[in-house]
């Protein structure tokens, strides 16, 4: 069972470094209109971290096109923030996975520790069970993964797949990287099948 997140400051600064790489490649690609992208980060104040993270850790890296008439915002994928959720991606995964485990008491402890109430956690469950499997991302990505995942055991089965094969920090990083494409605004829209 995977009871906890890596606690070290190194883990969190490493995730920030991965986000900075992802942001840099987005910046290099420029805006679709050809305009240059300027830094337009915003503060997300992620919940669910203890102790409080220093400010750079709370910044959602983002850009704004510098061309008049466009000014489009471009937000690259992130290994730290999961979609529009204010909780850090790692915590959303961990607490949701724990819910599927055999130890409800431990879930209570985690929820208290990270300040997520039952309703929030229930919403995350709905996200993993109903919303996530319908995303274009998952439909493509699941084909690359062995074993085949049961929807009912997401995200536990995902966490298990990554942590079983790698040391903890590395496993978490690889998993968050794998999920990074769903953190772009709009990426979680459900594709309506015809
Ligand atoms: Zn533009």
Q: Whole-prediction pTM value? A: 0.74
Q: How far is ligand 1, taken at its centre, from the CA of residue 36, in Å? A: 7
Report how far ligand 1's centroid is from the alpha carbon of 35 (Å): 5
8-state DSSP, 131: I
**Residue 128: closest CA among 149, 107, 104:** 149
Q: 40 alpha carbon to ligand 1 midpoint, in Å?
A: 14
| Dihedral, 140, 142, 146, 151 alpha carbons, nearest 10 | -160
CA of 71 to the centre of ligand 1 (A): 6
Q: What is the pLDDT of residues 165-188, one digit of tens each?
A: 888 888 888 888 888 888 877 776
Strands 42-43 and 59-60: antiparallel
The confidence score (pLDDT) of residue 14 equals: 78
Mean pLDDT value of segment 144-164: 77
Can you name the residues that pair with 37 across neighbouring β-strands? 65
Q: Tell me: the pLDDT tens digits for 55-114?
A: 788 889 999 999 999 999 999 888 888 766 667 788 788 777 777 655 666 667 766 766
- Cα 69 to ligand 1 centre (Å): 8
């Amino acid at each position: 069972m995977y009871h906890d997140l890596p606690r070290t400051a190194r883990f969190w600064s490493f995730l920030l470094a991965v986000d900075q790489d992802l942001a840099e490649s987005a910046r290099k690609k420029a805006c679709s209109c050809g305009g240059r992208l300027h830094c337009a980060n915003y503060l997300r104040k992620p919940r669910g971290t203890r102790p409080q993270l220093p400010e750079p850790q709370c910044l959602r890296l983002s850009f704004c096109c510098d061309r008049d008439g466009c000014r489009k915002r471009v937000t690259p994928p992130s290994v730290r923030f999961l979609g529009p959720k204010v909780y850090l991606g790692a915590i959303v995964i961990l607490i949701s996975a724990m819910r599927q485990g055999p130890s409800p008491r431990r879930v209570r402890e985690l929820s208290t520790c990270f300040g997520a109430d039952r309703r929030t956690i229930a919403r995350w469950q709905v996200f993993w069970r109903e919303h996530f499997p319908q995303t274009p991302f998952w439909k493509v990505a699941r084909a690359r993964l062995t074993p085949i995942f049961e929807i009912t055991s997401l995200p536990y089965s995902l966490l298990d797949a990554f942590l079983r094969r790698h040391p903890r920090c590395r496993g978490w990083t690889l998993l968050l990287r794998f999920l990074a494409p769903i953190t772009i605004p709009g990426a979680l829209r459900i594709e309506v099948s015809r």
